[in-house]
């Protein structure tokens, strides 16, 4: 697909995760990016199982044209912080809920980064917001993305109003 944002097929966002089992959560970021017409790549890059791959990915990200990285991880959740320590690009961390601790371990691991290694963090399993946040970061540079975000925000506002009105009219007979 030829990209209308940057004029080529170069991905602007890297969506990475610690393992294939994280895909069901991380695909929500990809869905948002695709809906906004933002080119992206999606890969498994584990801080623990494939550390050299992670280092190579993070160090080459900017040179390959990426402008934002979304990194999802569960448990110890080192991936977002490690990637942030290796690149100057903005990194958005998505804590992924595992069977134990309901994702709090991942959330605290990602949100409590040491000074100088920033990771923007969204809610547990909230890759959708990570995709939207990446789009907002890119909208500073790309006016078309800003236009699409404004349209998307209008749609969300309208849907909330319609949903509320529908519920009111449905319950009106029982009031």
Interval 23-43: pLDDT, tens: 999 999 999 999 999 999 999
In a domain, 22, yes or no: yes
Number of structural domains the chain divides into: 1
Distance from C-alpha of 108 to C-alpha of 12, rounded to nearest angstrom: 28
- Tell me whether residue 33 is in a domain: yes
Please state, as a whole number, how many other Cβ atoms lie within 10 Å of the Cβ of residue 170.
9
Query: In this structure, is residue 99 part of a structural domain?
Result: yes
Q: Greater confidence, 76 or 170?
A: 76
Q: 108-124, pLDDT tens digit by residue? A: 999 999 999 999 999 99
In a domain, 147, yes or no: no
Contacts of 38 (CB under 8 A, 6+ apart): 5, 12, 13, 134, 135, 138, 145
Compare 29 and 171 and report the one with higher pLDDT: 29
Mean pLDDT across 84-88: 98
Question: Is there a domain that residue 133 lies in?
Answer: yes
CATH number at residue 111: 3.40.50.1970
> Does any domain span residue 24?
yes
Cα 70 to its chain centre, rounded Å, is 4
Is the pLDDT reported for residue 174 higher than 60?
no
Q: How far apart are CA 20 and CA 17, in angstroms?
A: 7
- Residue 19 marked ligand-binding: yes
Q: Which domain holds residue 125?
A: 13-142
Q: What is the pTM of this model?
A: 0.89
From CA 19, how far away is CA 23, in angstroms rounded?
Answer: 8
Q: Is residue 158 part of a domain?
A: no
Residue 53 labelled as part of a binding site? no
pLDDT tens sequence across 43-67: 999 999 999 999 999 999 999 999 9
Distances (CA, A) of 50 to 77, 79, 81, 165: 14, 11, 15, 51
Q: Is 95 left (phi over 0), alpha (psi -120 to 50) or beta?
A: beta
pLDDT for the residue 2: 42
Q: What pLDDT shows up at residue 97?
A: 97
When the pLDDT of each residue in the chain is averaged and rounded to a whole number, the result is 92
- The answer to whether residue 160 is domain-embedded is no
The per-residue pLDDT for 102 is: 94
pLDDT band for 171, please (50, 70, 90 cuts): low
Q: How far apart are CA 72 and CA 55, in angstroms?
A: 16
């Amino acid at each position: 697909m030829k990209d209308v944002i940057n004029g080529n097929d170069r991905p602007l966002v890297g969506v990475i995760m610690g393992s294939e089992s994280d895909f069901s959560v991380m695909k929500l970021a990809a869905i948002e990016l695709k809906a906004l017409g933002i080119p992206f790549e999606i890969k498994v890059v584990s801080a623990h199982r494939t550390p050299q791959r992670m280092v190579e990915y993070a160090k080459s990200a900017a040179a390959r044209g990426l402008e934002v990285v979304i990194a999802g991880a569960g448990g110890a959740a080192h991936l977002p912080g490690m990637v942030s320590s290796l690149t100057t690009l903005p990194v958005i961390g998505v804590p992924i809920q595992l069977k134990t601790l309901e994702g709090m371990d991942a959330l605290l691991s990602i949100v409590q980064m040491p000074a100088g290694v920033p990771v923007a963090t969204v809610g547990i399993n909230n890759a959708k917001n990570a995709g939207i946040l990446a789009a907002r970061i890119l909208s500073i540079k790309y006016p078309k993305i800003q236009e699409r975000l404004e349209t998307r925000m209008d749609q969300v506002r309208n849907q909330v109003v319609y949903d509320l009105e529908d519920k009111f009219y449905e319950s009106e007979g029982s009031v």
